[in-house]
Amino acid sequence: MEIEKYLSAMEKRCSRRKYEDVPINFKYVKQLENSIALYNRKSGLNMKLVIGNGGELFNGFRKSYGLFVGVQNYIAMIGSDDLPDRMEKAGRFGEKIILEATAMGLSTCWVGTSYDKKAAMTLCKGNDTLDCVIAIGYSDKKHSLKERMMEYGMNKQHKTKQALIEAEEPVPEWFLRGMDAVYLAPTARNLRPFVFKYKDGQVTASITMPTETAMIDLGIAKLHFELGAGGGSWEYGNEGHYYFDDKRKESDKQHNTNGA
């Protein structure tokens, strides 16, 4: 999928917690399975798409605390205990799948705790770890009252975009575009536990609040920055560096010359 399509999906994506009893189009199931297989090869993860059995994780108040309704499908974010950067990779590649699903007209939601983890653990083998799941399916265009109430509560916790940036010098336009995309990134409880630093033409991303899912959140945010900035790549890990492509280097060089 081209960067422009990811950016369009980023603008449309929102977390949904109420799903309709409609099977996912078979064509889209195959596309999701193909993406998951590709990203598992690239990352070393063992993500799995489960179709039609979401009820075992979400049905009943004791399983999802009444926060989810009608979930029939999900993606299990699984990886080996000893896989380097497992949680950051889960964030990066899980969000990539979410944006692709959004472009298909599907609804999604990252789910860290509000599900029956014991039931999902049956998908794990050997030294696998299940970090979270992603609910996926179709939702009514109109948000339910419960969804609207949760969105209102989350919005009250918003950090400003400026609070996510640390820079002692003027920043180039591509960095600002990257941060616009970061601001659209979903995070657990909307805490946005990270900061993006720009110094001497270099960008790094760091955790500011060591939450249980901070590295998943960082993986999502790094992907959003990369897409918003127009490409490039990231070094894994807390305080990992962002690497420009050649065009970005020339653009940044020109920016520094003009600002001198």
pLDDT of 200-216, one tens digit each?
989 999 999 999 999 99
Nearest of 228, 256, 229 to residue 245 by alpha carbon: 229
Domains in the chain, CATH or no CATH each? 1-152 (3.40.109.10), 157-249 (3.40.109.30)
Beta-carbon-side half-sphere exposure of residue 42 (alpha carbons within 13 Å) = 12
pLDDT of res. 253: 53
Instruction: Evaluate if residue 247 carries a pLDDT over 70.
Output: no
**In terms of residues, how long is the chain?**
260
DSSP category for residue 18: B
Q: Give 3-state DSSP helix, strand, coil % of the chain, rounded to 5.
A: 45, 20, 35
Task: Decide: 19 and 72 in contact? Cβ < 8 Å.
Answer: yes
Average pLDDT over every residue of 115-138: 94
Phi, psi of 74 (to 5 degrees): -160, 165
What's the token pair of residue 26?
């078979």
Mean pLDDT for the chain overall? 90
For the whole model, what pTM was predicted? 0.91
pLDDT of res. 260: 38
Instruction: Evaluate if residue 189 carries a pLDDT over 90.
Output: no
Average pLDDT over every residue of 91-120: 95
pLDDT of res. 82: 97
Phi, psi of 159 (to 5 degrees): -85, 150
Q: What is the pLDDT of residues 138-179, one digit of tens each?
A: 999 888 766 676 665 556 556 788 999 999 899 999 999 999
Whole-angstrom Cα distance, residue 230 to residue 7?
10
pLDDT of res. 152: 56
Q: What is the pLDDT of residues 63-81, one digit of tens each?
A: 666 689 999 999 999 999 9
Strand 165-167 versus strand 107-111 pairing type? unpaired
Own/partner contacts of 150-154, CB < 8 Å, gap of 24 or more, are: 150/17, 150/67, 151/14, 154/189, 154/190
> Which of the residue ranges 60-69, 82-91, 118-127 has the most confident prediction, judged by mean pLDDT?
82-91
Beta-carbon-side half-sphere exposure of residue 81 (alpha carbons within 13 Å) = 5
Q: What is the pLDDT of residues 19-42, one digit of tens each?
A: 999 999 999 999 999 999 999 999
For helices 86-103 and 26-43, give the axis angle rounded to 10 degrees.
Answer: 160
Q: Identity (one letter) of the amino acid at 15? A: S
- Residues of the chain with pLDDT > 90, as a percent, come to 73
pLDDT of res. 64: 65
Beta-carbon-side half-sphere exposure of residue 182 (alpha carbons within 13 Å) = 29
